[in-house]
Structure 1
Amino acid sequence: MSEKAARCLSGMFQRISIAINAGKDHLSELDGAIGDADHGITMSLGFMAVNAELTKLDLAQALPSEIFAVAASAFLDAVGASTGPLYATGFRRASQALKSDESLSPACQAMIVDEMRAGIQQRGKGQRGDKTMLDAWIPAAEAAINASARELAVAGMWNAILEAAEAGANSTSSMVAARGRAARLGERSLGHIDPGAASAVIILRAMRDAFVEARLNNS
């Protein structure tokens, strides 16, 4: 089981990298309105580095917790900006949590989303409404926990997660930034979707696709 799980997560990170790379120009364009216009580039570099390190692993022997541990280190090494430590902490939290459940069951998948949220929030000290990636990650995690408690099937759970994340990201256009570089703009940050929230949606969509496909292949 651990080999299947490790291959699923490795494939998930590949999907994330491909999706982020495809959307990097749009993400940097969003960032250009309220930041340094480099969010897409840094996220793309980060996930390419993750995949480069994962290719060195023997997936026949690796555990899911190891996949996230490697991702944390690789992302942090590649991305020196504030996003690096945020996602590295999220991946590290997921890795630690997975040590008690390496199954990648629906409940385990919900736990991954919530632990990533917890790590990002722990490191960034932010909250919902600050106009950051947490405006996507917090509702996504709430949807994950709720779906898990209701014992929804994998597809239903991930669709709920993604719907919540998308709504959260879209809501940032009506917010005034309270954290990060965008906070310096004050009212001028209104009317723009936060690039970190937008990239979070891309990540969560790729995660959904990976887990739903893995479920179909195993059914």
Structure 2
Amino acid sequence: MTRIKDALDAVAAAIIAQKDYLTALDAEIGDGDHGINMARGFRAAVEAVDEMDDTSKPGPVLHAIGKALIQNVGGAAGPLYGTGFVKASEVCDENTKLNIESCEKLLGAAIAGIERRGHAKKGDKTMLDVLIPIHDCFLPEHAEGKTLFEVLLDASHAAKEGVDYTKTIVARRGRATLVGERSIGHEDPGAVSSMVMYRALYNFLKK
């Protein structure tokens, strides 16, 4: 079993473990199904990757995860997360390794795809309010002189700050827009699931 497959298993396990919490968050300002949908999607992603003959290269694995999420996660999260994984897969090449440069490139491609698909930006109370701050930590102006694990730790803190930020703003995208000002004070479920995914990956890599 290759390391990238192990990483997927860790992320999937974290999402499944937080299914009820994510669903409860979504029930406050959305459809109340985010955790259920995400757990179903990551179970499908694990199955899809399990069926692959070769999981040693990140590009094909990320693409398989993305397609599984698009096909199995309901609501907006499936197309958005799925697009992110697919777009990240498209910038993988023989130089893609576990380093700061590759992390920045893959995250940047994923975010650009999510922005285009969801017509969203930072400050709209979405997953981007976590993903963009994570990505910023890997940019040269922030990462210069730091080790990969120092940057990964910075990004873990940035993810939590992003989730906290979503509590202070009005939702401008998705179902939560229907509750308007009442969305203030609530964490965005997509932002929280992004933090859960990132921190699961971070904790896996620390081992």
Question: Which structure dedicates a bigger proportion of its chain to helix?
Answer: 1
Structure 2 residue ranges without an equivalent (≥5):
none
Retained in 2: the 8 A contact 1:12–1:207?
yes
Residue 12 in structure 1 maps to residue 7 in structure 2 = yes
1:139 and 1:164 in contact (8 A); partners too:
yes
Runs of 4+ in structure 1 off by over 6 angstroms are: none
* Structure 1 match to 2:135: 141
- Contact kept, 8 Å, 2:137 with 2:143, in 1: the verdict is no
Is the Cα contact below 8 Å between 2:143 and 2:151 reproduced in 1?
Answer: no
**Judging changes above 3 Å, is the alpha-carbon distance between structure 1 residues 206 and 146 closer, same or farther for their aligned structure 2 residues?**
farther
| Contact 1:8–1:210 (CA under 8 A) maintained in structure 2 | no
Asked if the contact 2:125–2:171 (Cα under 8 Å) also holds between the matched residues in 1, the reply is yes
Map of 1:216 onto structure 2 = none
TM-score normalised to structure 2 length: 0.93
Letter in 1 for 2:193: S
Task: Render the CA deviation track for 1:92-129: whole Å, top value 9, x for unaligned.
Answer: 11101112533233321232222222221121111111
Could you give the per-residue CA deviations for residues 123-150 of structure 1, whole angstroms, max 9, x where no partner exists? 1111111111111111111112247741
**Two-structure CA RMSD over aligned residues (Å):** 1.8
Which of 28, 52, 66 is residue 33 of structure 1 equivalent to? 28
Distance in 2 between residues matched to 1:193 and 1:81, nearest whole Å: 18
Q: Give the count of matched residue pairs.
A: 207
Contact 2:7 2:201 survives alignment (8 Å): yes
Which structure 1 residue ranges, 5 or more long, are not aligned?
1-5, 214-219
Residue 177 to residue 27, structure 1, CA distance change in 2 (3 Å): same
The answer for the alignment partner of 1:47 in structure 2 is 42
Distance 1:80 1:101 in 2: 34
CA distance in 1, matches of 2:92, 2:206: 19
Contact 2:100 2:138 (C-alpha < 8 Å) held by counterparts:
no
* 1:24 match: 19
Find the counterpart in structure 2 of residue 107 from structure 1.
Answer: 101
% of aligned pairs identical?
35
